[in-house]
């Protein structure tokens, strides 16, 4: 995991400009404290900077920017199947000077061009510059675990792992994007969704997207991937489906355990983290250490985690956060992220990753995303009932297109209450129309959960791991965000995930996950009432009420960055 900062200029860069870009890139040092490097193209129109957190091939030979022939790369993330891709390339005559996944990406791009993206399994954001063609190619992973933001004006295009280095440039004009501000107050959003940004002139590259740049101009930006939904799997025998799902879950967990440094896991005692712990320790025979946090020794989440760790004989460290300064932590997170955020998980995770770093770990594996894939929220049985109602309308030949699907989703959301919200929702969905199209014919619960996975719940699925993890130089990995597992999960009949449509405690959700690991020594925790991350930590009113939290966050943002944010009456 690392930080990248890249500039494409219409004109040759001056020494003064290069020095300012080097200084800006230092704002990413927390993402990669192990090494840094710079590159300036022969035509002096491209600048690349990299901050490295060493996880795979710890040698200096794998430092970046890395150059092979006419190609130069800066890369943030991990390619879990890089050894498999390397074997393919070696058969084609490629030779490698390192054991890194970075060099594999570079060679794969040289061989396959943009099609190399279809080979990659992992989380990634990278930029490759072709000196011969004078083209800059950048891409982001399918779910958006690793970020890329970009800024464009009449002189430069700047790409960065974070917004703040761009905002701190001397030529950047601080101006608020009102449309993005409205999106921040939409539905359950606790962040400004991609591709929008609170700053005028800045956008976020969408998940599963690439961008091609030349001489400070964008030549193309598009999706390179759509989820492949196999509706035929619904007709398979139940036991065959269970076998396929179990194999894919184990494979996804094994892929995220690839590392040249020790790995750890976040253990809550819930279904997802308990399964990850069980697979790593019992099936894959990996050495791992588990970390848990809670309000006190009496916290039910702590008790469940202790039970799982003891049953699996995993070293277990517990941290109690009963007196953390939530306000101070959130202010620091907003300062780094350079946008408002309104989710306390950022503060809790900041404390936890800080502690994990002190314990000497760089890698931690979490269960993020499982609730969206296997329908683990308490509201999901009710959503499935709505889905059946709407499916009847669809079968009656009611027009089924993306806009109708959005309307159904909007009508079932308590947080959306007016037609303006619907208009904003439609504009956001329009950005993803090509990406989400394969889900349009599915049940409403499938469509809404896929949308939650890539956008609405990104704050707690991908953002929190990158922002809070990288703030503390800790790499957060998420096996349930494996794109093949996602495709499989959304191909399943929803009734394989929710056994009881009237379940109000979360005991009958994620049913197929519980079934495939039935008989394991941790089975007892599968059927306990659901608790969310930080469920038992007390909060004051500002942080309990979402709109109050949003307004507080905006005030903090406004003060930190010296911009006026209009607290419009509709919020």
**Which of helix, strand or coil describes residue 232?**
helix
Strand 316-320 and strand 288-294: pairing? parallel
Give the span between the Cα atoms of 75 and 103, in whole angstroms.
10
Q: Which of 451, 1, 560, 534 is nearest to 256 (CA)?
A: 1
**Cβ neighbours, 10 Å, residue 421:** 18
Burial 202-236 (b: 16+ CB within 10 A, else e): bbbbbbbbbbbbbbbeeeebebebebebeeebeeb
* Per-residue model confidence (pLDDT) at position 571: 41
Per-residue pLDDT of the chain (571 residues; tens, 9 = 90+): 689 999 999 999 999 999 999 999 999 999 999 999 999 999 999 999 999 988 887 888 888 999 999 999 999 999 999 999 999 999 999 999 999 999 999 999 999 999 999 999 999 999 999 999 999 999 999 999 999 999 999 999 999 999 999 999 999 999 999 889 889 988 889 999 999 999 999 999 999 999 999 999 999 999 999 999 998 998 999 999 999 999 999 999 999 999 999 999 999 889 999 999 999 999 999 999 999 988 788 888 899 999 999 999 999 999 887 667 888 999 999 999 999 999 988 998 999 999 999 999 999 999 999 999 999 988 898 889 888 877 776 665 554 555 555 555 554 555 555 555 666 777 888 899 899 888 877 788 998 899 999 999 999 999 999 999 999 999 999 999 999 999 999 999 999 999 888 777 767 899 999 999 999 999 999 988 876 655 566 555 567 788 899 999 999 999 999 998 875 544 4
**Which of helix, strand or coil describes residue 207?**
coil
Could you identify the residue written with the tokens 């063609």? 133
Give the span between the Cα atoms of 163 and 337, in whole angstroms.
7
| Contact call for residues 558 and 564 (beta carbons, < 8 A) | yes
Give the span between the Cα atoms of 557 and 191, in whole angstroms.
12
Give the span between the Cα atoms of 353 and 350, in whole angstroms.
5
- Beta-strand ranges (E) seen in 270-402 are 288-294, 316-320, 363-365
* Per-residue model confidence (pLDDT) at position 76: 96
* Per-residue model confidence (pLDDT) at position 530: 76
Q: Which of 313, 330, 312 is nearest to 553 (CA)?
A: 330
């Amino acid at each position: 995991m690392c930080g990248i900062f890249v500039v494409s200029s219409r004109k040759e860069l001056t020494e003064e400009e290069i020095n300012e870009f080097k200084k800006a890139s230092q704002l990413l040092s927390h993402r990669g404290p192990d090494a840094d490097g710079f590159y300036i193209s022969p035509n002096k129109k491209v600048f690349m900077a990299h901050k490295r957190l060493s996880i795979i091939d710890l040698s200096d030979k794998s430092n970046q920017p890395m150059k092979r022939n006419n190609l130069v790369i800066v890369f943030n993330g991990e390619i879990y199947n890089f050894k498999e891709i390397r074997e393919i390339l070696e058969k084609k005559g490629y030779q490698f000077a390192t054991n890194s996944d970075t060099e594999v990406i570079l060679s794969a791009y040289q061989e396959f061009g943009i099609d190399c993206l279809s080979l990659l399994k992992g989380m990634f954001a990278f930029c490759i510059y072709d000196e011969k063609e004078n083209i800059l190619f950048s891409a982001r992973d399918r779910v958006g675990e690793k970020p890329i933001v970009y800024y464009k004006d009449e002189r430069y295009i700047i790409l960065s792992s974070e917004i703040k280095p761009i905002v701190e440039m001397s030529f950047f004009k601080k101006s608020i994007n009102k449309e993005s501000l409205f999106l921040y107050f939409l539905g359950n959003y606790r962040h400004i969704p991609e591709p929008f940004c609170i700053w005028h002139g800045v956008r976020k590259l969408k998940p599963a997207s690439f961008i091609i740049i030349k001489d400070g101009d964008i030549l193309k930006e598009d999706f390179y991937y759509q989820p492949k939904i196999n509706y035929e799997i619904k007709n398979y025998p139940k036991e065959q489906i269970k076998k396929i799902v179990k194999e894919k879950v184990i494979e996804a967990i094994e892929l995220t355990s690839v590392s040249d440094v020790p790995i750890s896991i976040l253990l809550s005692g819930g279904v997802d983290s308990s399964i990850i712990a069980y697979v790593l320790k019992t099936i894959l025979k990996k050495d791992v250490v588990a970390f848990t946090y809670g309000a006190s020794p009496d916290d039910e989440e702590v008790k469940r985690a202790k039970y799982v760790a003891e049953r699996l004989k995993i070293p277990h460290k517990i941290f109690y956060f009963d007196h953390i300064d939530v306000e101070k932590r959130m202010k620091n997170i907003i300062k780094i992220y350079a946008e408002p955020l309104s989710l306390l998980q950022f503060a809790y995770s900041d404390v936890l990753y800080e502690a994990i770093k002190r314990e000497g770990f760089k890698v931690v594996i979490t269960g993020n995303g499982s609730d969206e894939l296997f329908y683990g929220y308490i509201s999901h049985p009710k959503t499935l009932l709505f889905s059946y109602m709407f499916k009847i309308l669809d079968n009656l030949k009611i027009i089924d297109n993306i806009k109708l699907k959005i309307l159904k989703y909007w009508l079932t959301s308590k947080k959306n209450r007016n037609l303006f919200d619907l208009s904003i929702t439609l504009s956001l969905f329009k950005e993803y129309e090509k990406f989400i199209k394969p889900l349009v014919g599915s049940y409403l619960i499938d469509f809404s959960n896929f949308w939650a996975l890539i956008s609405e719940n990104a704050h707690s699925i991908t953002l929190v791991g990158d922002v809070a993890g990288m703030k503390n130089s800790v790499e957060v990995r998420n096996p349930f965000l494996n794109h093949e597992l996602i495709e499989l999960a959304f191909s399943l009949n929803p009734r394989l995930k929710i056994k009881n449509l009237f379940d109000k405690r979360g005991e009958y959700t994620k049913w197929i996950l519980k079934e495939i690991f039935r008989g394991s020594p941790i089975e007892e925790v599968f059927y306990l009432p659901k608790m969310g991350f930080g469920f038992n930590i007390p909060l004051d009113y500002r942080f309990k009420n979402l709109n109050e939290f949003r307004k507080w966050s905006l005030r903090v943002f406004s003060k930190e960055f010296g911009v006026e944010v209009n607290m419009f009456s509709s919020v």
